[in-house]
Structure 1
Amino acid sequence: MTAAHTASISKAPYYYVPPHSAHPIRGSLSMLATLVGAALWVNDYAIGPWLCCAGILCMFVVLFGWFGDAIRESEGGMNSKNIDHSYRWGMTWFIFSEVMFFGAFFGSLWYTRDVSTPWLSNLDTQTLLWPGFAGTWPNFGPAGTIAPFKSVGPFWLPTINTALLLSSALTLTIAHHALRAARRPKAIFWLAVTIILGFTFVGCQAYEYHHAYTELNLRFTSGAFGALFYMLTGFHGFHVILGATMLTVIWLRLVRGHFTPEHHFGFEGAAWYWHFVDVVWLGLYIFVYWV
């Protein structure tokens, strides 16, 4: 936020209503293409990867235009305190929806491991359904229908990734305090460190996936364990990419002189999201790699 914006914020309308925009419908179509493409991809349709990647690319194009409009409105002094409150509540509810999203997958992990697996291994169920089913976690399914695989332990890549994300939370907090203290160069430096740590995490996870797929034979088709492992860690990795991209945009805005110590919700909103990603990873680290 520039000095001009700071001077004009008190003169902003009571509640700015933006003009009609095609961004929501474009974003919806992009998400639809992404999800349909992903569904076709996992079912081995040739068009699936292309449609999924096209949907993701279109979504980034939409977000680039949408965020650009929001930034221009902010820098143009259109946003009053009421708009600022709306942004904060919007980000709060968005993060809450993400909590519910990951809560569903953590619930699936708990139910599969601690409820259905022991139930399938009791004597009556074995007699009726799958004789000889071993109630261990992870397992190879009834009658050995799943190809043998090894699970991923906490050492060493998951532990290194935990250190990377925890360190990024610290560097982001330093950058935030520097911005509030009007020390822009320091904020720019530590935010850049945060972004580097985030993308380093993504690189380490990609290496972990390659190792799991090629050397441990752990695939998405490796029963309930394989599906839940890749769904939980994969969606988290996607959120890390999204969060690091958001922080990159904020870094570019800092370099261009946006934000002030008093008005910088764009920075704060991205920081909230990043800290949420950190907390989710701690849950994954404990319940996927250790327990």
Structure 2
Amino acid sequence: MRNHPFHLVNPSPWPLFASFAVFIFTIGMTQYMHGFIGGGYTLTLGFSMVLYAMYVWWRDIIREATFEGHHTQAVQRGIRYGVILFITSEVMFFVAFFWSFFHGSLAPTIEIGAVWPPKGISVIGPWEVPLLNTFILLSSGASVTWAHHAILAGERKQALNGLYMTIALAVVFTFFQAYEYVEAPFTISDSVYGSTFYMLTGGHGLHVIVGTTFLAICTIRLYNYHFTKSHHLGFEAAALYWHFVDVVWLFLFVVVYWWGGA
């Protein structure tokens, strides 16, 4: 019998399998980008292995937390710290590209015409699709907060409705982002503006897709009665991640679309 509240994890094959899957995925991506014969098949195999590793590893964690009772208050506190540190590292990811954007815009070099936006670049107006997407994403932040409060109040049906609304808004946001990319008058290779624009908005779009997947898994878990008033750490992590995505988009809208395109 243990005399501490911490979870000593049983030996698992998934960390090693996940490492091997990422290795295959990286090789496949490299081969595919350089036009190697069979590179697409290797990429598909590696990506499938990564997805399988995610599924089985998350399955085991859900089993340990929900059915075996290993996630005590002390364990949950440690996981919360881990989620906060993870989001902090994500903040640093965006800081790097915002820094690059400001470096190019505050002191534009002669190579780009000594002006910002660079000479020849037709920027995307902030008051059309970007403004619409801002309202959509802020609304999704409100709906995920609604779902959180509903879980705390024991209102499972309302929580599900809040999550359904959040996921629907996230899908609409992603659709409009893709539409904007299709209609954009410049590409990622068009000077420092194009590269920083697509790295910032594309990086954020990837985070939206990850957050949407996160919330979809939480919806399935809530539907299967995995969450209670006092035990819903998985949802808390998803909600915190989603609010981070919201805040990053506000910075993107103000800095890149509004101020950076003026």
Whether TM-score is above 0.5 comes out as yes
Give the CA RMSD over aligned residues.
2.3
Structure number with bigger Rg:
1
SS at match of 2:75: helix
Compute the displacement of 1:220 (Å): 1.4
| Alpha-carbon spacing, 1:80–1:187, altered in 2? closer, same or farther (3 Å) | same
Compute the displacement of 1:58 (Å): 3.1
1:289 to 232, 257, 261: 257
| Alpha-carbon spacing, 1:37–1:210, altered in 2? closer, same or farther (3 Å) | farther
| Alpha-carbon spacing, 1:287–1:55, altered in 2? closer, same or farther (3 Å) | farther
2:205 to 229, 233, 237: 237
Partner of 2:191: 223
Determine if the alignment matches structure 1 residue 83 to structure 2 residue 51: no
Give yes or no for contact 1:12–1:80 (8 Å, CA) kept in 2: no
Residue type of the alignment partner of 2:148:
H
1:10-89 equivalences under 5 Å are 14-32=5-23, 45-47=34-36, 54-75=45-66, 76-89=68-81
CA distance, structure 2, for counterparts of residue 31 and residue 198 of structure 1:
27
Give yes or no for contact 1:12–1:79 (8 Å, CA) kept in 2: no
Partner of 1:4: none
CA distance, structure 2, for counterparts of residue 228 and residue 166 of structure 1:
24
Q: How many residues are paired up?
A: 255
Compute the displacement of 1:98 (Å): 0.3
Compute the displacement of 1:18 (Å): 1.2
Compute the displacement of 1:55 (Å): 4.3
Identical-residue share of aligned pairs (%): 38
Residue type of the alignment partner of 2:118:
N
Compute the displacement of 1:37 (Å): 5.7
Determine if the alignment matches structure 1 residue 279 to structure 2 residue 258: no
CA distance, structure 1, for counterparts of residue 230 and residue 219 of structure 2:
17
Determine if the alignment matches structure 1 residue 160 to structure 2 residue 139: no
SS at match of 2:6: coil
Q: List alignment gaps of at least 5 residues for structure 1.
A: 1-10, 122-129, 141-147
| Alpha-carbon spacing, 1:55–1:236, altered in 2? closer, same or farther (3 Å) | farther
Partner of 2:237: 269
Residue type of the alignment partner of 1:110:
F
Residue type of the alignment partner of 1:112:
G
TM normalised by structure 1 equals 0.80
Residue type of the alignment partner of 1:202:
T
Give yes or no for contact 1:175–1:191 (8 Å, CA) kept in 2: yes
SS at match of 1:224: helix
CA distance, structure 1, for counterparts of residue 210 and residue 133 of structure 2:
17
| Alpha-carbon spacing, 1:157–1:185, altered in 2? closer, same or farther (3 Å) | same
1:93 to 80, 85, 98: 85
Give yes or no for contact 1:220–1:227 (8 Å, CA) kept in 2: yes
